[in-house]
Structure 1
Amino acid sequence: MESVGSGEGLASTVDHRALAVAILDISADVRRKSHEDTGVRPLPNGLLEILRVIENHPGITVAEVANRLGRQFSNVSVQVRELVTGNLVTRTRDAADKRYVTLHPTAESQRIKALLEGAWADSLAAASSRLLPAERAQIEASLPALQRLAAILDAPA
């Protein structure tokens, strides 16, 4: 376990390994169990990660996506082409510099995002209904910190 200091100088103990494993397990299970009812073709994890970066950062470049995900530019470029072909991403050339291309989610991408996020929420709601009320309250109370942690992790390296 790792000790982490808080803003007031008090130390708390967080088992970061257990937290990471729980987050990854929840993510994989929610995605797997909720996808069937959406009618959406499942995307491989690599494509989904790229798409989510583009959705969260419209106007981002392929190089910036590759940097955020710690991947090779050439590999991301090939996967972005697949997303463009699938009508999930558009490329826009800069009027002043035609070499500069930005990426944007399409309306279809936004529709799929809303469907999937709704299905993910339904899956979590069904599972959390089996928790004790105090456990549900703990999850609710931790949501702002988890959202902030996600934003910190999403920031470019």
Structure 2
Amino acid sequence: MDTNDQRQLTEFATAIRSLVFSLRRDAVTDVGLEPLTAAEVEVLHWVLAHPGTTSAEISHGLGLKPSNVSVTVRGLVAVGLLTRRVDEADRRRRVLEATDKALTDHRRIDGAWTGIIADLLDGLGRDERRAVLAAAAPLGRLAQLRHGAGR
């Protein structure tokens, strides 16, 4: 990778990070929810994508320490966003699922992100808007690659 590519990569990473932090904060505020920590957001997102998962699977999948996952899960259970239940296939296992509240909050946050991004896109020219929207598929693929890497 040459110096120009490295500079562009750094600028891209910085822009993505800045946008995501802003969207995460603003969307939660816009829908009137209590903010979650970054770890809580990651764990909740994992459970939403992998219903019936275990704490050990979350730890492995996200590359987090098991003790940190346990503390985070306890907090999410306490605020009514996750539930634990006995796995019917293997009664020794306890699996996690998102609650109806978590699903509703997730939809509300998705709607807020969409609205915020739509407003931001209005500030761009037509070609920039098209370029941003065309980036959805490759960015989604990057997310899949990241999750597949087992961080």
**TM-score of the superposed pair, with normalisation by structure 2:** 0.89
Q: CA deviation at 1:96?
A: 4.8
Instruction: Provide Cα deviations, 1:6-41, integer angstroms capped at 9, x if missing partner.
Output: xxxxxxx57332222211111011122232221111
The answer to which structure, 1 or 2, has the higher relative contact order (CA under 8 A, 6+ apart) is 2
| Larger strand percent | 1
5 Å-filtered alignment, 1:109-148, equals 109-148=102-141
**Equivalent in 63, 67, 75 of residue 60 of structure 2:** 67
SS at match of 1:92: strand
SS at match of 2:136: helix
Choose 86-95 or 15-24, whichever is displaced more.
15-24
CA contact (8 A) 2:47 2:98 kept: yes
SS at match of 1:90: strand
What is the aligned-residue identity percentage? 33
Amino acid at match of 1:17: T
Q: CA deviation at 1:70?
A: 1.3
RMSD: 1.7
In structure 1, runs of 5+ residues without a counterpart are 4-12
In structure 2, runs of 5+ residues without a counterpart are none
- How many residues end up aligned between the 2 structures? 147
For 2:30 and 2:67, the matched residues in 1 are separated by: 34
For 2:90 and 2:134, the matched residues in 1 are separated by: 47
| Larger helix percent | 2
Instruction: Provide Cα deviations, 1:39-81, integer angstroms capped at 9, x if missing partner.
Output: 1111111111110011011111101111122111011011101
Q: Structure 1 residues 154, 96: closer, same or farther in 2, change over 3 A? A: closer
